[in-house]
Structure formats: C-alpha cells, structure tokens
C-alpha cells in the first residue's frame, strides 16, 4: 500500500506520497494554521487530495514535541497550540484510520538510517541542530522511543565538562539551565557569540564571517564545534553508535563536521573513535520520509 508522510512544522506542513517501493509520487506544502482545529483540517485536506488521485494510503506524521505515554496528550511542542491536546487520537478520528506519529527528530533519524547517511549501520543516532536541538535513535532498523517516549532528547542534557567561562550557563525555555540547546542551536550560537564579542549576528552570519577570516567569528565557531564534540561524546559513551548523522540548518555550516571529528576523540572513554559523524543525505526531506517509514512494508508500526 502507498504511504503518506507528513512533516508538521511551526510554519509549514509538507506531505509526500510514496509507492510501496519508496518511489515518491507527489508532494504538497502548505502554511501551518496557528490553531489546533485548523491544523487537523489542513492535514485532512492534504491526505484526501493525495488519495483522490493515487488511492488509499497509510499515514505517518512527524511532529514537534512528544506524546505522553501516561496521558496521550501532546507536550513540549514549540507549536504551542498542540500542547495538552489528544492530537494523534483526534487526527486518527478525523481520517477514520490509525495514524502513526513520532517526534520530528525521531523521523529524521529513521529516514537517514533506512536509506540515507546511516544506511546499513546497526545503531544510528540522528541529531537535528537548528532553531532547537533534538535527537533520535534507530537500532537494528527499529526506532527507539523509550519508556517515557523521550529517547534521544539530547538537546536537554547539560553541556558536559564545562570550562570556567561556562559555569554560569544560560537559561533554557524548558526551565533548566545550560541545556545543550542553549549552546549549540542557531540562536544559542548567536547568543554565545554576542556574549563573548558583542554585536547581534545570526548564527549564519557568524559562520559566514568565520569563512571570511574574522578572528572573533573563527573563535566562536571553533568553540561551537568543540562544544558539539563534548555533547556527542556523552552520546557515544552511553550508546556507542556506528553513525551519528547531523541535520538541521546548523549542520550545513562549512567545516562543522570536520571540527567535530577532529575534537571528538579527546572526550571519549576509549582509545579509539570508530563512530562516524556525517552530514545528512536527505536534508529537509528526512522528516517527511521518516514519517512515511513509521509503517513497515507489512503495515505494522516501526
């Protein structure tokens, strides 16, 4: 049966329809309504339009935040109109069928593990570094969700092995201080650069200035890469993955992968570093592709 993958973002909803073998048949992208009922209605409209042309399909959806296994309600979504609502149940009822859903970082990891930069690896850790920071784990081709449904939430652990100038960490929107997201995300990098050197550059502007030889920007991107390596070292010490795949806007910065791979071995509890840190293969399409692969070829959930 065909699959429809949907990536529900804060500003856009993207849907793609795939044939059973993985061939993409069509795609649509629309603006995200900034309210709950409108979001569900827009997803329904996309699904109905695709099925009218290509026939019935299974539906998988990537969303921000996670669904509590205790209450079944959405939590921690930056699309705040979803929080506290039985989103999966309401969407399934509207579409009159089961709908598989997962966090967008989990869908990214699943896509890259299935046929992307982590293809063929036993254990893949997928990282999204953009406006926020998230992660997902795929082992033996299976998405690991966890008992609390928070497996891979790498962005909300503290920066490990802090230097002296990192002992008064910034606050995070989650209520804690010093989360990796506050250091490594695009806004986090921009804030770190401003604290150290002044100005109001965006993360992209910092990376461009570093490429052009600006000494302050070079220092900021080197520190960012070293902090990224420290954060990933904790993942490797616990999970020991074959591959770490980086996605999100920050992952596209020139030289970031090289900086991480150069710095990473010094922080591992190991005499070798075989884990490969690589850039994504499918890019922005990974969320929608991973959502489609939440259903396996026999119609079971991954």
Q: How many CB atoms lie within 10 A of CB 197?
A: 15
Three-state DSSP state, 60: strand
Mean pLDDT for 178-195 is 96
Output the pLDDT for position 189. 97
Q: What is the pLDDT of residue 299?
A: 52
Same domain assignment for residues 288 and 215: no
Contact 223, 159 (CB under 8 A): no
Domain assignment present for 266 = yes
Q: Are 128 and 196 in contact (CB under 8 A)?
A: no
Euclidean distance between the first and final Cα of the chain, in Å? 16
Least reliable range by pLDDT among 20-24, 188-192, 202-206: 20-24
302 domain-assigned: no
Give yes or no: residues 62 and 145 share one domain: no
| pLDDT tier at 295, thresholds 50, 70, 90 | confident
* Residue 161, in any domain of the structure: yes
Cα distance between residue 34 and residue 38, in whole Å: 7
- The mean pLDDT of the chain is 94
Does 115 map to a domain? no
Query: How many domains does one find in the chain?
Result: 2
Angle formed by the axes of helices 215-239 and 256-263, nearest 10°: 60
Q: How far apart are CA 143 and CA 133, in angstroms?
A: 18
Residue carrying the six token digits 């604290």: 195
Q: Confirm whether 144 is domain-assigned.
A: yes
225 and 139: one domain?
Answer: yes
Domain that holds residue 214: 121-280
Would you say 130 and 280 are in contact if contact means Cβ atoms under 8 Å apart?
Answer: no
Is residue 299 one of the residues assigned to a domain? Answer: no
Same domain, 103 and 126: no
**Tens digit of each residue's pLDDT (9 = 90 or more) over 255-268:** 999 999 999 999 99
- The three-state DSSP-derived secondary structure of 117-172 is CCCCCCEEEEEEECCCEEEEEEECCEEECCCCCCCCCHHHCECCCCCHHHCCCCEC
Better-scored residue on pLDDT, 10 or 193: 193
Task: Please check the confidence at residue 62 and state whether its pLDDT lies above 70.
Answer: yes
Please report, for residues 47, 125, 210, 273, the alpha-carbon distance to residue 222 in angstroms, rounded to integers and kept in the order given: 45, 23, 9, 20
Mark whether 157 and 211 lie in a shared domain: yes
Residue 80: inside a domain, yes or no?
yes
**pLDDT(301) > 60:** no
Q: Are residues 221 and 143 in the same domain?
A: yes
Q: What CATH number corresponds to the domain at position 18?
A: 3.30.420.40
Name 75's bridge partners: 66
Same domain for 153 and 268: yes
- What integer pLDDT is reported at residue 221 of this predicted model? 97
Considering the domain architecture, whether residues 8 and 143 belong to the same structural domain is answered as: no
Please indicate, yes or no, whether residues 51 and 182 belong to a single structural domain of this protein.
no
Residue at 113 is within a domain:
no
């Amino acid at each position: 049966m065909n699959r429809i993958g949907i990536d529900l973002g804060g500003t856009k909803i993207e849907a793609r329809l795939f044939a059973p073998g993985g061939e993409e048949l069509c795609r649509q992208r629309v603006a995200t309504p900034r309210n709950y009922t409108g979001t569900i209605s827009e997803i329904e409209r996309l699904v109905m339009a695709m099925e009218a042309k290509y026939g019935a399909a299974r539906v998988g959806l990537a969303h921000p935040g996670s669904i509590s296994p205790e209450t079944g309600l959405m939590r921690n979504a930056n699309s705040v109109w979803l929080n506290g609502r039985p989103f999966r149940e309401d969407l399934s009822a509207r579409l009159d069928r089961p709908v598989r859903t997962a966090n967008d970082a989990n869908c990214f990891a699943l896509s890259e593990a299935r046929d992307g930069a982590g293809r063929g690896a036993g254990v893949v850790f997928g990282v999204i570094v953009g406006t926020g920071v998230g992660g997902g784990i795929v082992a033996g081709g299976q998405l690991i969700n966890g008992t609390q449904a928070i497996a891979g939430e790498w962005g909300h652990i503290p920066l490990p092995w802090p230097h002296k100038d990192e002992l008064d960490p910034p606050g995070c929107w989650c209520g804690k201080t010093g989360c990796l997201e506050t250091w490594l995300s695009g806004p986090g990098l921009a804030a770190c650069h401003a604290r150290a050197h002044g100005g109001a550059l965006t993360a992209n502007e910092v990376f461009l200035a570093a490429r052009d030889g600006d000494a302050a920007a070079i220092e900021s991107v080197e520190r960012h890469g070293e902090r990224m390596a420290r954060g990933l070292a904790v993942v490797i010490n616990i999970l020991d993955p074959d591959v770490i795949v980086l996605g999100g806007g920050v992952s596209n910065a020139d030289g970031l992968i090289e900086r991480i791979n150069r710095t990473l071995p010094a922080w591992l509890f190991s005499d070798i570093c075989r884990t490969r840190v690589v850039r994504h293969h499918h890019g922005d399409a990974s969320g929608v592709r991973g959502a489609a692969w939440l259903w396996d070829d026999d119609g079971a959930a991954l």
